[in-house]
Amino acid sequence: MTAQQTHSFEFFPPRTPEGSQKLQSVWGELAVLRPKFFSVTFGAGGSTREGTLATVKALCADGHEVAPHLSCVGASRESVRELLAAYRDMGITRLVALRGDLPSGAGLGGAGSWRHASDLVAFIRSETGRAFHIEVAAYPEFHPQSRSPKEDMAAFARKVKEGADSAITQFFFNPDAYFRFVADVRALGVSIPIVPGIMPITNYMQLRGFAEKSAIEMPRWIDERLRAFGDDTASIRAFGLDVVTALCERLLDGGAPGLHFYTMNQAASCKEIWRRLRLSGTPAGSD
C-alpha cells in the first residue's frame, strides 16, 4: 500500500445483542490491518438511527476512526442537525453523505424533504463548515434511477461542487466501468479520490439479490460458475476470493486510491483478500 491509499471497512448496525458481540470481534480482527476508517450504514428514514449511533459510539470508544453514514431522504433538517451535533461531540470528523432509499412505495419523502444527496452535502457544509470530511456515493455502472449516464455523472459532479471530499463507489465486477467512470468525471472537472467499493463473494443468492436491486452487472462467467456451485460454500468462497482479489489488483494497479470493503459484518474474506494483495495499514498521522 502507498501512503496515499485509503482502505476502509463498512459495517451495518447489528439488530441483536449477539450480532453486536460478533461485530466487536469482527472489527477487532480487521482493526489489526490498520484501515483508515470503519464506516457504519444508516437506514434511510432513520430506521437504524439508534443502532447506527450505538455502533458508532462503540467503535469510537474502542479507539477507531469512524465514518457514520447519514441519509437525508425522509429526514428533517432538525434530525440531521442533531446527528451532526452528536457526531461532533463524539469527535467524528468523517461522514458518508447519502440520499438513501425509502422502502418501496414510500416515495422520496414529503414536500420539503431533501431529494438529492447534493442537498445534504450542501447542508452539512453550511451548518458545520469544514468540521467533516464528506464522502459521497458514486456509481460506475450508474444509479438505477438515473435518466442517463450523462445526467448521473452530472449529479455526481454536483455533490463534489457542493463540498464532497472523496467518494466510495457502489460495488461492481467490471474494472473497465470504474476506470471509464473516473476518466469521464475527471473530464467534468472532478478531482476528488474515488475509492472502489468491493463486495467479497461469499453467498451467491444474496449477491444476486444485491446486484439485481442495484442494477449491477454480474458477468455471465461469474454468475454461471457461482450458480453451478450450488450449496458448496467452500467452492463459492474459493472462487470468490480469486475473482475479487484479481479485481482489486487490477484496480490498484490502474491507480485506484484505495479500497472500501462491504464486509457484511464478516472478517474472513476481507482479511484473506487483504493478505493476498499484501496490503499494509494506514501510516500513523496520514489523512
Ligand X SMILES: Cc1cc2nc3c(=O)[nH]c(=O)nc-3n(C[C@H](O)[C@H](O)[C@H](O)COP(=O)(O)OP(=O)(O)OC[C@H]3O[C@@H](n4cnc5c(N)ncnc54)[C@H](O)[C@@H]3O)c2cc1C
Residues annotated as catalytic (active site), given as ranges: 10
* 81 sits near ligand X (criterion: CB under 6 A): no
Amino acid letter for position 205:
M
* 7 sits near ligand X (criterion: CB under 6 A): no
The secondary element (H helix, E strand) that includes residue 133 is strand 133-138
Output phi, psi for 197, to 5 deg: -85, 130
- Which residue number, 202 or 214, has a Cβ lying nearer to ligand X? 214
d(CA 202, CA 235): 9
Scan for cell 472500501, then name that residue: 260
To the nearest whole angstrom, how small is the minimum distance from the Cβ of residue 26 to ligand X? 18
To the nearest whole angstrom, how small is the minimum distance from the Cβ of residue 150 to ligand X? 10
CA angle 234, 240, 246 (to 5 degrees): 140
The conformation of residue 261, written as its DSSP 8-state character, comes to: E
Contacting range for ligand X; rule: CB under 6 A; set: 37-45, 53-61, 184-192, 275-283: 37-45
Contacts for 248-255 with beta carbons within 8 Å, 24 or more apart?
248/196, 248/198, 248/273, 248/277, 249/277, 250/175, 251/175, 251/178, 251/196, 252/5, 252/277, 254/175, 254/179
To the nearest whole angstrom, how small is the minimum distance from the Cβ of residue 147 to ligand X? 7
Amino acid letter for position 220:
R
To the nearest whole angstrom, how small is the minimum distance from the Cβ of residue 200 to ligand X? 15
To the nearest whole angstrom, how small is the minimum distance from the Cβ of residue 153 to ligand X? 8
When binding is defined by CB under 6 A, the residue of 1, 23, 30, 44 that contacts ligand X is 44
When binding is defined by CB under 6 A, the residue of 116, 133, 208, 225 that contacts ligand X is 116
Name residues contacting ligand X, limited to 159-188 (CB under 6 A). 159, 168, 170
The site string for ligand X over 243-282 (x = CB under 6 A, - otherwise) reads ----------------------------------------
- Which residue number, 169 or 269, has a Cβ lying nearer to ligand X? 169
When binding is defined by CB under 6 A, the residue of 7, 36, 94, 143 that contacts ligand X is 143
Contacts for 250-257 with beta carbons within 8 Å, 24 or more apart?
250/175, 251/175, 251/178, 251/196, 252/5, 252/277, 254/175, 254/179, 256/178, 256/194, 256/195, 256/196, 257/4, 257/5, 257/6, 257/166, 257/193, 257/194, 257/195
Sequence-ordered list of residues with C-beta below 8 angstroms from that of 98, at least 6 positions apart, any chain: 42, 44, 69, 70, 71, 72, 117, 120, 136, 137
To the nearest whole angstrom, how small is the minimum distance from the Cβ of residue 219 to ligand X? 20
d(CA 15, CA 130): 33
* 145 sits near ligand X (criterion: CB under 6 A): yes
- Which residue number, 144 or 229, has a Cβ lying nearer to ligand X? 144
Amino acid letter for position 80:
V
- Which residue number, 146 or 235, has a Cβ lying nearer to ligand X? 146
* 141 sits near ligand X (criterion: CB under 6 A): no
Name residues contacting ligand X, limited to 85-114 (CB under 6 A). 96, 98-101
* 155 sits near ligand X (criterion: CB under 6 A): yes
- Positions touching ligand X (CB under 6 A) are 41-44, 69, 71, 96, 98-101, 116-118, 137, 143, 145-146, 151-152, 155, 158-159, 168, 170, 197
